[in-house]
Amino acid sequence: METVDSSSIPAKLRERLASAQKVLVLTGAGVSAESGVPTFRGGGNSAVWKGMPFDLISSAEMVERDLNAVWEWFDYRRDLLRDLKPNSAHEAIAIWQDRFSEFTLVTQNVDGLHQQAGSRDVVEVHGSIWRARCVACQEAIEIPRNGPRPNECQSCGERVRPDVVLFGELLPPGAFEYAAHMVANCEICFVVGTSALVYPAASLPEIAKANGALLCEVNSERTPLSNFCDFVLTGKAGELLPLLNSDL
């Protein structure tokens, strides 16, 4: 393992990236935090919305108990995100879309900033705050950034809920399986801005390593994944990732 700071990128990593064709990037909250996106994850049972902790207001239980309260919470979150812009990390990753013959972006974030930066076919393992989903037929409905949120399904008239993975729910069908297939066949796997603690997405770096990929972590601080990686780039993703693009 080689650890560096934001002032240098290892020559070996530059060389591997320059010759690579199959690259996968897994991103987490740290990338979006640089755009001002709050994580809302306080310690213990900290109240984040009307006296309720994060893991209650953002739970499958609350969808059943009080869907209106859940929507109030997610409407509030969307209001906070509405005017935020992608940062240089999002933009650097978007450039890779056309640089590598096989590029996969998997994100645990629900804010849509990768798409705003130009990334396509993003694998959103935790869903999107900019979509609703019918509780009956499961149809997904886009939520406009500057328009009214849908209250019912256009196809069947049933209630809709946020199209995000809540506490107590499984990942979207096929999302993790696709990501696992792609990471098992990549040459380089970047893990950017995530603590590598939330499973099953956190198992993707393990799959990459087990299949011979070079594993590189980009984070502002060390994580449980750090000792497992070939390279650890310590610093802000918005500063480090553009440095990697200088040779491409």
DSSP H/E element including 11: helix 11-19
Two tokens at 219?
């984070």
- Count other Cβ atoms within 10 Å, centred on residue 143: 20
- Where are any strands of DSSP class E within 5-158? 22-27, 47-49, 52-53, 102-107, 123-124, 127-134, 140-142
- Calculate the dihedral angle through the C-alpha atoms of 61, 67, 71, 77, rounding to the nearest 10 degrees: -10
- Mark whether 126 is an active-site residue: yes
Place of tokens 């070079």: 214
Pick the catalytic residue from 90, 114, 126, 181.
126
Q: Are 20 and 98 in contact (CB under 8 A)?
A: no
Retrieve residue 192's tokens.
Answer: 């950017």
Ramachandran angles phi, psi of 214, nearest 5°: -75, 135
Question: What distance in Å separates the CA atoms of residue 33 and residue 28, rounded to the nearest whole number?
Answer: 9
- Chain-centre distance for alpha carbon 241: 16
Q: Which residues are catalytic?
A: 126
